[in-house]
Amino acid sequence: MTLRYRSPGVYFSPRTRTFTLMAKSSMYVMRVDDGRNLEHLYWGEALPMEDDLTYLSIGNTIIMFDPVGTLTVPKILGLDELDEISDIQGLTDRWKVYTKQKNDPERGSRPRRLENASWRLWTMERNKGGDLNRDLGTETLLSALGEEEAKDEGRFSEKEESKIKKIPTSPTDGHPVPRAATPPFSFLPGPKTAPTSPPVPVSPMGEHIFDHFPKSAGTLTALTQQEPESIIHVVPSEPHDMSRTFPSVRDFREIREHPRHPEESIVNWNVLDPTMAGKNSKLFEFADRGTGDYREPSIMVTYADGSTVSPFEYIQHKIEKGKPRTPEYFPNVRVEDVHEATTLTIDMMDPVTKLVVRLFYTVMHDYDIITRRIEVVNTAGQPVWLERLMSATVDFDSNKYYMTQLSGGWARERQIVTKELQDGLTTFNSCRGASSHQFNPFLVISVGAPFSETTGSVYGFNLIYSGNFLASAEVSESRRMRVNMGVNPVGFRWLLESGESFESPEIVLSYSSTGMGHLSRQLHRLYRNRLIPPRWRQKGCPILLNTWEAVYFKVNHEMVCEIARCCKNMGVELVVVDDGWFSQRNNEFSSLGDWYPNLEKFPFGLEGTVRALEEMGMAMGIWVEPEMVSVDSDLYREHSDWCLHVPERMRTMGRNQLVLDFSRKVVRDYIFEQLDAILGCANITYCKWDFNRHLTEIFTSQEDWPPERQGEIGHRFVVGVYEVFGRITTKYPDVLFESCSGGGGRFDPGMLYFTPQIWASDNTDAISRVYIQYGTSLAYPPRTFGSHVSTVPNHQTLRSTSMKTRSLVAMNGSFGYELDPRHLTDAEINECLGYVQLHQRFRDLVWNGDLFRLRNPFHNDTGAWMYVSEDQHEALVMAVNVRREVGRLEPRLLLQGLGPGKIYEIEELCPGKLVRNVGTGAIELDPNGVYQFGRTLKLSGHSLMVAGLPIKFLFDADSVLFHLKLVSNYQ
């Protein structure tokens, strides 16, 4: 028998209430448990569709002191509305009416017997495949009732009774609590939305979920009879055929009663005992607070009565092709065709307050990637304070886990740090108002060992957000592990008035069973194809020269023209006028907010300089820092209340500037107009959007937001920034925006949604950049790295490296220059031109090829990596020696990603220039170039990957570059 795997999509098995999210070659599985929790079952490589994964629940157990209360208390199911239909004689409805009435003390014991009788008839009907809604003749019922009355009162065996006693009682002490109305999807209020993919019409199923609750196990029987009606809006089609029209209710009854696939008949319910599942060790998709799960929750709320207990129960779900709309300008993975993704939406509700959480899972069919986000909808009729909302909670089974994070600081961003998780919480976060230099919103879990590039299970979490975030991994006493990631609850308190909703940022979950390399390549492909603005997918950045490290604030028209004239000979296409061009901006003390050119420096306005450059065949870009204001500025003199501040308190300065309050519309509109004026006045084709300090005094004008909404300002600031980004990039689609934050302080997927590249670091030293770019590549594709060749000695490290090494390192990104070309000799200009041409020759391979990391500079003396074209016909291999001990030799470089049976010609490009005289030890220039092999090699991909490529470095910060070209295939 061959094992069958499902094609990508979302599958719901009504029998086991299991959702299977099938990605390209991996799978994510959860189910609605008997307490209506969403129980996480599995995330990993794809498993055969024949297997019913509910057996994984058996791993659950109760640990001493752990509450067991995951069962729904029948009383709170409430079936009040059924009073209205007591004249309906249908079997199912009868049963419901009696179910409701039997708890009413005033009615005595008869309704209970009626309920039992109708239940037995219902079950019989179901077992013989009959009509569950057929009219029930009074006679039939009475005879059943007669049998019932003849029997003993109790329906349960002693064993079953003893289990039932373990079920916690309802706080309402036996009286029915009105059931929360199940909100139809369309009733829920949502924020303003913009289409990302056309919604697919879906037909409501009208299927009763309690039809699918287990009927055989003792305790379950008693409870499941009383499950309320929940509408399953859409249930997916059968395996392998997501494109088929959705099946009807009848189809599902058919499937249930006459299973055609083994998957449909094997159900492990008989071995499950929900009372044996401690809430504190069970695996959940969404973790509540206050009912026995003592791990960090997914959500924290405070209700109007001051209570914080907030269990959520499954009420309905929907499966649709594509991806539903998201709020306008809210960054998320783009789905452009309904066939490339499937979205599962699950509504859960606090049965007492009626607060709804809506979980969205989008499976990206061509990737091992699922995105998640959460919307909280207040249907409670009373205000609710949201104090924490994680975009994803993922529980893992017990194991030895390692967590990898990208952390660092200014000029040392995204260094790879891995640690073994021990009992308790391991967290990293940002409270700085930006994703930050210090920690990136990216977390990796590897199983059993620190991640390897080529083997082992690794799980990636990347939050699409540019503000405060929290990432945590919690190992509980049972050694189960929970990952939480979302907006940082510190400083966050969101008031949800009745009818309002809140959207969490989206998170990207990725999985690889073959190590970190595959995980990164998945993310790279996704971000290139479905995150950065579509118009930049096929278009790269022009080769630019940025004036910052060349002249800092001293820019002016003449100088920009001179620089442009010089760097044109290097092959540069665009000059970016960085800081210093506007108002009185001669240093870092003034003028932010006054976005008009200084006419002494630029007497012809920006238009004049653009024109002059255009006459040379060059383009011009500009630097702005729109979220900031200098105290010494016209803007601040006029609107000193437009910055984040608390009246009466000091305003904390950072880089001598304050932060504008982007939570306020008036501020956003003003800044938008300023940007519009700059970009509208001249043909500026590139814009670097900077952000050079973090947030303090996060508080806003009471005119816009009242005291009870001040906890929203940190998030509203980020959303406000997104709005301005969205408006300006929509109005100027041909302007290439590069974001920046004191270098790489806001290098996150939220920014990539608007800007296809981000200045990776203010550190332009080639060796430092090897670490920074290698770390960044764990999550982000090289084409998004703003990466420039700068002068030597380097301005951040005072280190000198060769032009070759600086150029090769800069080629792993957008490529440009950050130096004064007026100080270069003709020979150096020529050398630069050579590297520009090299970059032009290979940029498609670097920007769109698959990246394979070969040697980790954090653990070795060398950083090495390679790019392979999708068809494996071409590859580019680079290695840079970051630490050298004289006389030590490098191990061979084992290549990856090649066709084993393909023969490649290996050519070394740009050989070294210096050689050591072995007689004297002196370093000498070799006019013939210093090659690794002295000739071209021809080898199979197999040998290159298994025996490897020998490399040798002669000097510190030396580097090598090889080009591999397919010449033939082995027969």
Candidates 96, 139, 142, 129; CA nearest to 115 is 96
Q: Residues 288, 748, 762, 850: which is the catalytic one?
A: 762
Q: What letter does residue 73 receive in the DSSP assignment?
A: P
Candidates 330, 319, 393, 391; CA nearest to 362 is 319
Candidates 226, 238, 230, 227; CA nearest to 206 is 230
Residue number, 685 or 862, with CB nearest to ligand GLA: 685
Residue number, 571 or 654, with CB nearest to ligand GLA: 654
Nearest residue to the partner ligand GLA, using Cβ? 579
Q: Quick one: 33 exposed, middle or buried, by C-beta within 10 A (0-12, 13-18, 19+)?
A: buried
Please state at what angle helix 665-681 crosses helix 605-615, rounded to 10 degrees: 40
| Alpha-helical segments (H) within 532-664 | 548-551, 557-568, 605-615, 634-638
Burial per residue of 847-886, b for 16 or more beta-carbon CB atoms within 10 angstroms, e otherwise: bbbbbbbbbbbeeebbbbbbbbbeebebbbbbbbbbebee
What are the two backbone dihedrals, phi and then psi, of residue 651, each rounded to the nearest 5 degrees?
Answer: -110, 120
Residue number, 597 or 899, with CB nearest to ligand GLA: 597
Report in angstroms how near the CB of residue 655 gets to ligand GLA at its nearest: 8
Distance CA 98, CA 83 (A): 10
What six digits make up the tokens of 647?
């009246």
Report in angstroms how near the CB of residue 761 gets to ligand GLA at its nearest: 8
CA distances from 486 to 201, 428, 711, 713 (A): 31, 11, 16, 16
Write the DSSP string, 212-262: GS--SSHHHHHHHTTPPP-EE-----STT-TTSPPPPHHHHHHHHHS--SH
Report in angstroms how near the CB of residue 740 gets to ligand GLA at its nearest: 5
Report in angstroms how near the CB of residue 625 gets to ligand GLA at its nearest: 7
Residue number, 685 or 692, with CB nearest to ligand GLA: 692
Report in angstroms how near the CB of residue 544 gets to ligand GLA at its nearest: 12
Residue number, 754 or 759, with CB nearest to ligand GLA: 759
Residue number, 628 or 838, with CB nearest to ligand GLA: 628
Which stretch of DSSP H or E encloses residue 21? strand 18-22
Q: Determine contact, residues 524/510, Cβ cutoff 8 Å.
A: no
Binding site for ligand GLA (CB under 6 A): 548, 578-579, 623, 690, 692, 740, 742-743, 759, 762
Q: Determine contact, residues 656/628, Cβ cutoff 8 Å.
A: no
Residue number, 372 or 693, with CB nearest to ligand GLA: 693
What six digits make up the tokens of 613?
């450059």
Q: Determine contact, residues 325/267, Cβ cutoff 8 Å.
A: no
Report in angstroms how near the CB of residue 786 gets to ligand GLA at its nearest: 9
| R_g (Cα) of the chain, nearest Å | 32
Report in angstroms how near the CB of residue 410 gets to ligand GLA at its nearest: 9
Residues facing 687 on adjacent strands: 622, 737
Distance CA 464, CA 148 (A): 59
Residue number, 180 or 687, with CB nearest to ligand GLA: 687
Residue number, 92 or 814, with CB nearest to ligand GLA: 814
Report in angstroms how near the CB of residue 580 gets to ligand GLA at its nearest: 8
Q: Which amino acid is at 24?
A: K
What six digits make up the tokens of 589?
């003390």
Residue number, 710 or 755, with CB nearest to ligand GLA: 755
Residue number, 741 or 802, with CB nearest to ligand GLA: 741
Burial per residue of 120-148, b for 16 or more beta-carbon CB atoms within 10 angstroms, e otherwise: ebbeebbeeeeebeeebeeeebeebbeeb
Distance CA 46, CA 418 (A): 27
Residue 762 appears among annotated catalytic residues: yes
What six digits make up the tokens of 687?
């814009």
Report in angstroms how near the CB of residue 748 gets to ligand GLA at its nearest: 16
What six digits make up the tokens of 551?
């002249």
Q: Residues 66, 690, 850, 958: which is the catalytic one?
A: 690
What are the two backbone dihedrals, phi and then psi, of residue 495, each rounded to the nearest 5 degrees?
Answer: -85, 125
The full length of the chain comes to 971
Report in angstroms how near the CB of residue 817 gets to ligand GLA at its nearest: 13
Candidates 430, 504, 405, 330; CA nearest to 694 is 430
Report in angstroms how near the CB of residue 818 gets to ligand GLA at its nearest: 8
Residue number, 98 or 582, with CB nearest to ligand GLA: 582
Residue number, 449 or 653, with CB nearest to ligand GLA: 653
What six digits make up the tokens of 223?
């409870």
Write the DSSP string, 400-435: -EEEEEEEEETTEEEEEEEEE--SEEEEEEE-SSSS
Burial per residue of 423-443, b for 16 or more beta-carbon CB atoms within 10 angstroms, e otherwise: eeebbbbbbbbbbbbbbbbbb
Report in angstroms how near the CB of residue 865 gets to ligand GLA at its nearest: 25
Report in angstroms how near the CB of residue 787 gets to ligand GLA at its nearest: 12
Q: Which of the residues are catalytic?
A: 690, 762
